[in-house]
Each structure stands twice: as C-alpha cells, then as structure tokens.
Amino acid sequence: MALLRVALTGCHLPSTYCRLRLLLPRQMGTTTRQSSDTISRLRESGLLKTQGLIGGKWVDSYDGKTIKVENPATGELLANVPFMGKKETEDAISSAYSTFNSWSKLSASERGKRLRKWYELLLAHKDDLALLITLEQGKPLKEALGEVAYGASFIEFFAEEAKRVYCDIIPTTQNDRRLLVIKQPVGVVGAITPWNFPLGMIARKAGPALACGCTLVVKPSEYTPLTALAAAELALQAGIPPGALNVVLGNASEIGDALLESTQVRKITFTGSTAVGKKLMAGSANTVKKVSLELGGNAPCIVFDDADIDVAVKGTLAAKFRNSGQTCVCANRILVQEGIYDKFAKAFSESVQKLQVGNGLEEGVVQGPLINETAVEKVERLVKDATSKGANIVLGGKRHSLGMTFYEPTVIGNANNEMLVCREEIFGPVASLLRFKTEEEAISIANDTNAGLAAYLFTQSIPRSWRVSEALEYGLVGINEGLISTEVAPFGGVKQSGLGREGSKYGIDEYLEIKYVCFGNI
C-alpha cells in the first residue's frame, strides 16, 4: 500500500473515482487544502484544522505532501492533511521534550485545572466533534456524540486524578534510615491511535499522561485525523501549553520508527491491531521504553439456558453491532447453550433485522459504513469461509444495496471455533452463533484464542456468574451487560490483547515511574 501511495503522489483523481477510492482508501497528493460542503456545517469553523501541531504551531509537512481525508459513507473529500514523516516527528519530539520540564513542574492542581477546562471545551463543542467523527469515521451521529462524552469523561477523570498520585513511606529496616517511594512522570510519550474511536482513544492516553506531567507526540490514524486536530485545538484553548500535546500525521511506519528510535521518548502507548502492537513492542526494546498496548480482541459472548432472553438479546446486540461491529470489544463469537439456542437465534435475528443502515448523518440510522474496502473484503472472506465449513446464513451475508463500504447486518448460525469468523477479529456487522452444551465446554471454547480483551456472559445464576467470570482469560467481563467501558474502571487485555490498563485509578500508573529514596544517617 505504501508503494501505491507513493506512486500516486501529485496525481489528481476525478471526483467520480468511487471504485478506485474503494481500492485505494487514501491517495496522496500536493493538492490545495479544501473542505467539503458537509464539513462546512461545523458551528465553529476554527475547529477544522488541516495541519499538524508541533510546538503549538500549525504546520504543513516539510515537503508539502498531503493525504486525503474522505467520508467512508459517501466518498466525499473532506480535507487534505499533511503527510508527515521522520523530520516532523523529530521536531515534535524535541518540542515535547523541551516542554516536559515546565509542564511537569506545574502543580498537580494547576495541571488538573487546565485538563478540566479542556473537558469543558470538548463538551461545549460536542456537536462539532461528533460531526467530524461521523464524517471521517462513519459511525452514526448519536454514537459519535456518545464517543465525545466518553472521551471527555477520561479528561475529566484524570483532571481530578492528577491530585491523587500518592507516594509511600516504607517502614524502615534500620533506625537511622527513612525510606520513601515517590512517583514521577515518565517523560515524553509517543501515542499512536486507531480510527475506530478517533477521540476516545486519544483522550484515554492524553488524559492520564498530561495529568501526571508527561508531554506527548500523538499520531492519529490517517483515516481520522480531523477529530484529533480539533481536540488538540481545544487543548491549546484550554491552556495546555504549546509543545505539551503535539500531533503528527502521515507515514505511519516512519513516524513510528522516529518515536521508537528516539531516546527522548520514554513511553509508547498504542491502541490498534495486534500485528502493529507487536512491532512497536519489539521496536521499543532498543531504547527500553515503557510500553502499553491496547490490541485486538476476539470477545466471546456466552448466553446460558438460564439467561433472561430479552436482556441477552439487547446486550448481545449492543456488544456486537456498535460502530457496525468495529470495536475491539465487539462480541466476535456468540456462544448459545443448546436449550435456548433456537429461541435466542430467532429473537436476536429479529432485532438485527430492524437495524437501519445508512449514512450516519441521517436520522434513524444505527449502522454506518465500514471504514474501507479492505474491511469489507475481510468480512466477505470470513463469511465465505464459514459457509464453506457448514455455517448457515440466518440473515444478511452480503454487501448492502447502498454500495460503497456498506455491509448488511448479518447473523450466521451453527458456527464453530475452527472457522475463521471465530478465530479472527471480524471488525464488521457479522454475528456468528455457536451452539454449546455445558458450562465447561463454553469456557473452553471462549478461552481457545490468543486474544483476551472483553468477554460477556448472560445468566441469572449468581454462582455461575462468579465461576465463569473467574475462569475466563480476559481483561474485562460483562455480566448481563453488553456495554461496560467507563472512565472509572480499568480497560485492557491479557494474552495477545495487550499490556497495561487505561482509565480508572490504575490508568495513570502507565505514565509514572517509581523512585525509591533512602534518607540515611538521620
């Protein structure tokens, strides 16, 4: 893909390039920056930023290269943004490094006040931020508004948490000594984020990092830079000083390598695919950086015979179809006990059939497009593999008549753990139902994966809730609930779903170093 993009430098494609766009999700060029009609609906036009942010200054890429940002629902060009690389990243790192001293020396309460102001500005501009999210990412406007509230909640939480970075005094082993533990910010943080939550994933990192005194270089996904830039503009307005929060856009591997190679960057925090996460983890070894990774999932959703069927259908629907199935915690395998299988499959499919698909800006739409053609092709491949191995299509199973990157909300019956649809992260609106007999079998199927992010179970039995949630090898477990993420609880995976936690009182530890101080001869 990188080669194709380079080959397209400077080429101008006609506006009716739909099919080509689908094959090549983003094209590079050196075109003049322009914005679309829909984007002009922003209430505050100043939030449409189309340059990177380095040291508090909005800048183009040094060689003038740009990359298009497009609406996945329509193919409409939203903006051209800089396609940056090594040099810009190095300057952003220098800027973060030189700001670290002054930012980390501010009192925790002062940092907290500025974060609180950022939180207030994010909420004050929630409509504009949600519009940007829907336009560049595709999720329905109501969900986008939910993401703004979700992202802002992390800034608010860590604005408060800044004041609670408590240290310890350890009982001494020698009378003439006093032993202290202090916690200090790790330093410059490189934060790389995905497209599926363009604001939420940045807020989960920038909130705790800034709260404890770190500074950041953020690299958002090439698909969703506009939300990140608008949020950064609001951070500046809130008094987060120039250089504390830098945003670079463009060549992912070049930016990633510059962050990894720098000895000034002391921490890498990443949300995205497991494959890229592994590369970043390996690349961090050379300079021995602190690393936290929020990677892909393969969530089991277990519906037991004793479940309340309405609660199970509602919870599974939410866990599966939010963001058209494009979340790391989406139910990827729906395990249904044999006694309730037919009843659940019928009720669930009836609910799925009602999901309205379309452009996320339209009233009533609850399922937007997938992010690009590659995502649709992946879904097609998984569905084909499942049917070739004996699964049946209960509902959907093909591209939506709207075309573009729309796929029909789909239910597949009689799936099993050998099918790719159960082994890979689907990241699309496909629900695969697996039949099981016993609790032990369900746990065994659920744990038979390298992923370990979220799991769900539906049962009315308290003993079973305890037994199963303890046996599941996952970082998050939802019991009779399909949407469980909140700023006050730790979010993160085990096995190959990642390292570390975001949110909650534990989330700030990822950005702190522990220092032991010994007072002797007292």
Is residue 369 a contact residue for ligand NAP (CB under 6 A)? no
Sole binder of ligand NAP in the list 82, 140, 185, 297 (CB under 6 A): 297
Examine the residue annotation and report whether 481 is marked as an active-site residue of this protein: no
> Choosing from 212, 214, 301, 328, which is the catalytic residue?
328
d(CA 118, CA 105) in angstroms, rounded, equals 19
Our finding on whether 42 is near ligand NAP (CB under 6 A) is: no
Encoding tokens for residue 135? Answer: 């336009």
> Closest separation between CB of residue 37 and ligand NAP, Å?
26
Catalytic hit among 294, 408, 487, 510: 294
Pairing of strands 392-395, 410-415: antiparallel
What are the backbone angles phi and psi of residue 305, rounded to the nearest 5°? -55, -30
Q: How far is the CB of 277 from ligand NAP (least distance, A)?
A: 7
- Could you give the dihedral angle defined by the CA atoms of residues 351, 352, 353 and 358, in that order, rounded to the nearest 10 degrees? 130
**Shortest distance (Å) from residue 502 CB to ligand NAP:** 7
Q: Which helix (H) or strand (E) holds 274?
A: helix 274-284
Annotated catalytic residue 328: yes
- Near ligand NAP by CB under 6 A: residue from 141, 144, 276, 431: 276
Q: Which of residues 248-267 bind ligand NAP (CB under 6 A)?
A: 252-253, 256
Query: β-pairing, 331-337 with 299-303?
Result: parallel
487 in contact with ligand NAP (CB under 6 A): no
Residue 469, class by beta-carbon neighbours within 10 Å (0-12 exposed, 13-18 middle, 19+ buried)? middle
Q: Which residue in this structure is represented by tokens 């509230």?
A: 149
What mask of x and - would describe binding to ligand NAP in positions 430 to 469, judged by CB under 6 A? Answer: -----------------------x----------------
Q: Which stretch binds ligand NAP (CB under 6 A): 83-91, 99-107, 194-202, 514-522?
A: 194-202
Residue 226 binds ligand NAP (CB under 6 A): no
Task: Return the residue of 146, 194, 360, 396 that touches ligand NAP, per CB under 6 A.
Answer: 194
Site pattern 76..115 for ligand NAP (x: CB under 6 A): ----------------------------------------
Neighbours of 290 (CB within 10 A): 18
How many residues at the interface with ligand NAP, by CB under 6 A?
Answer: 28
Continuous H helices in 139-272: 141-161, 200-211, 225-237, 252-261
Nearer to ligand NAP, 134 or 221 (CB): 221
How far is Cα 120 from Cα 156, in angstroms, rounded to an integer? 8
Q: How many CB atoms lie within 10 A of CB 166?
A: 8
Does 72 engage in binding with ligand NAP (CB under 6 A)?
no
Least separation, in Å, of the C-beta of 203 and ligand NAP?
Answer: 12
Compare residues 439 and 502 and give the one whose CB is closer to ligand NAP.
Answer: 502
Nearer to ligand NAP, 304 or 321 (CB): 321
Judged by DSSP in three states, 48 sits in: coil
Residues 6+ apart with CB under 8 A from 475: 452, 453, 454, 490, 491, 492, 493, 494, 497, 498, 501
Q: How far apart are CA 22 and CA 8, in angstroms?
A: 15
From 425, 439, 487, 510, residue interacting with ligand NAP (rule: CB under 6 A): 425
Given the complex with ligand NAP, which of 111 and 501 has the nearer CB atom?
501
Cα–Cα distance between 179 and 5 in angstroms, integer?
Answer: 57
Please report, as residue ranges, which positions from 394 to 413 form the binding site for ligand NAP (by CB under 6 A): none
In terms of CB distance, is 218 or 361 closer to ligand NAP? 218
Of the candidate spans 189-197, 230-238, 412-420, 441-449, the one that interacts with ligand NAP by CB under 6 A turns out to be 189-197
State whether residue 188 is helix, strand or coil.
strand
Any contact of residue 219 with ligand NAP (CB under 6 A)? yes
Binding characters for ligand NAP, 307-336, by CB under 6 A (x = yes) = ---------------------x--------
Q: Which of residues 489-518 bind ligand NAP (CB under 6 A)?
A: 493, 498
Stretch that binds ligand NAP, among 2-10, 113-121, 214-222, 393-401 (CB under 6 A): 214-222
Task: Burial-class residue 1 by CB neighbours within 10 Å (0-12, 13-18, 19+).
Answer: exposed
3-state helix, strand, coil in the chain (%, to 5): 40, 20, 35
Nearest approach in angstroms of CB 484 to ligand NAP is 13
Q: Phi then psi for 433, rounded to 5 degrees? A: -100, 130
279 binds ligand NAP (CB under 6 A): yes
Provide the token pair at 72: 């996945």
Distance of CA 496 to the CA centre of its chain: 16
**Residue 294 within binding range of ligand NAP, rule CB under 6 A:** yes
Rounded to an integer, what distance in angstroms lies between the CA atom of residue 394 and that of residue 373? 24
Query: d(Cα 469, Cα 456) in Å, to the nearest integer?
Result: 9
Backbone φ/ψ region at 188: left (φ over 0), alpha (ψ -120 to 50), beta: beta
Among all residues, which ones are annotated catalytic? 294, 328
* Residues near ligand NAP (CB under 6 A): 192-197, 201, 219, 221-223, 252-253, 256, 271-273, 276, 279, 294-297, 328, 425, 453, 493, 498
